[in-house]
Structure 1
Amino acid sequence: MRVNWNNIKLGFLGMVIIGLYGFADYRSDQKTIDDISIKFLGDNNLYLTEASVNKLLIQNYGTIKNRAKEQLVLNTIEEVLRSNDMVKNAQVYLTVNGELISKIVQRKPIGRVEGVSKFYLDDLGERMPLSKHHSARVPIITGKITGKTLEDAYVILNYINEDDFLRKNVIGIHIEEEGKYQLKFRLENFVVNLGGVENLDEKFKNFMAFYAKAAKDKSLEKYAVVSLEFSNQVVCTKI
């Protein structure tokens, strides 16, 4: 019987390669974490500090630096970071140089609720706790706070944030009751009765036309209330 030396050589070569890969993986797993890098992505990085993240990791894992790579489960670390109330998303990975890198996206508040409970409303419409590191300059939400009225406030805030003028000038939303929302402006004495959240495009289009004319006439200071509650019109109450 003839021996097929080519097959034997290929089999032996395959075993050598598998052994080398296994050895490389073993050596890689035995390497330790040489450094930790925490990177905050985006421009909304005011509510959580690097020290807070390090503290969170230490509380859950102890000291990470100089630990073997095989002792760390990256998916679990990501879950721990995402569990922080200020974190929107987190990605963790290891470099070939033994550096543990955490990329974190912080949550973005768009409104601040001032009531029995104080908290932010974030850009997903969810409750977000206040931060001890920074106070966001966002419209203040007051009045009758319920699940439904917060949903409506979120709709209003999203609309406001899409318009440069409104984003810079609206400083508050007061909830009189469900379907009755009032806006407060930074530089004006009057309040704007918005009514409900239906037909916002039409309501704000009418308001901007009124505002432009009143500003041109220098009569803005004469009004106490500007109502957008009625279809296709602006009803003003003078001081």
Structure 2
Amino acid sequence: MRVNWNYIKLAFLSISLVALYGFADMRSKKREVSDISIKFLGDNSLYITEDAVNKLLIQNYGPVKNRPKEQLVLNTIEEVILSNDMVKSAQVYLTVNGELISKIVQRKPIGRVEGISKFYLDDLGKRMPLSKHHSARVPIITGEITGKTLEDAYEILNYINEDDFLRKNVIGIHIEEEGKYQLRFRMENFVVNLGGVDNLNGKFKNFMAFYVKATKDNSLESYAIVSLEYSNQVVCTKI
């Protein structure tokens, strides 16, 4: 009987490859985490520190560095990081060298509520706690704070943040009651009665037309109240 050595060589090669793969996989699982790298993505990395993330992991997951890779559950580590109120999203993975990488996006505040409770309103319209590490320079929200008025304040802030002039100059929103919102500006003495959140585009267009004209006339300082509540007009009250 003639032996087909090609088949034998192929079978031996296959067995060798499986053995090598199994050996490499076993060594990889036994390898320990060599280092931890925490990376904050974007320009909003002020509200939680690298030390705070490390402490959070130790308290809720245990030590990570020098731990065998096979003992790690990456999804659980992500959930631990996401449990912090300052974190918007987190991605955790291991490199081939055994380094644990954590990429974190922090939440972004767009307004700060000053009332019985103090907190930020973030860019998704959700409550965000204040940070002991950094105070955001965002418009202050005061007055009658309710679920509905916060929704309206969020809509106003979103509009303001889309406009370069308004974003730089509006420093506060005062809520008199639902449907009655008042804006405060950085460099001007007057306040702007916005009314409700209906037709924000039309109201702010009318305001900018007034502002440009009053700036040319050097008359801005003579106004105490600028009202945008009425349809297609700006009603001013002088000091």
Matched, 1:228 2:232: no
SS at match of 1:17: helix
Distance 2:115 2:7 in 1: 78
SS at match of 2:130: coil
Quick one: which amino acid aligns to residue 143 of structure 1? G
Distance 1:8 1:135 in 2: 72
| Aligned equivalent of 1:123 | 123
Distance 2:4 2:141 in 1: 82
| Aligned equivalent of 1:41 | 41
Paired residues of 2:108 and 2:122 also in contact (CA < 8 A) = yes
Matched, 1:80 2:95: no
SS at match of 1:70: helix
TM-score, structure 1 as length reference: 0.96
Structure 1 range deviating more: 30-39 or 12-21: 12-21
| Aligned equivalent of 1:52 | 52
Identity %: 83
Distance 1:52 1:16 in 2: 47
Paired residues for 1:87-236 under 5 Å: 87-236=87-236
SS at match of 1:12: helix
How far does the alpha carbon of each residue in 1:161-217 deviate from its partner, in whole angstroms, 9 at most, with x for none?
A: 111110011000011111111100111111101111111111000000000111111
For the aligned residue pairs, the C-alpha RMSD in angstroms reads 1.2
SS at match of 1:125: coil
| Structure 2 residues not aligned, in runs of 5+ | none
Quick one: which amino acid aligns to residue 141 of structure 1? I
Quick one: which amino acid aligns to residue 220 of structure 2? L
Distance 2:236 2:43 in 1: 39
1:4: how far off?
Answer: 5.1
Quick one: which amino acid aligns to residue 148 of structure 1? K
| Structure 1 residues not aligned, in runs of 5+ | none
Distance 2:62 2:73 in 1: 14
Distance 1:65 1:132 in 2: 27
Distance 1:136 1:83 in 2: 21
How far does the alpha carbon of each residue in 1:11-54 deviate from its partner, in whole angstroms, 9 at most, with x for none?
A: 33222212211111110010111111111111111100111001
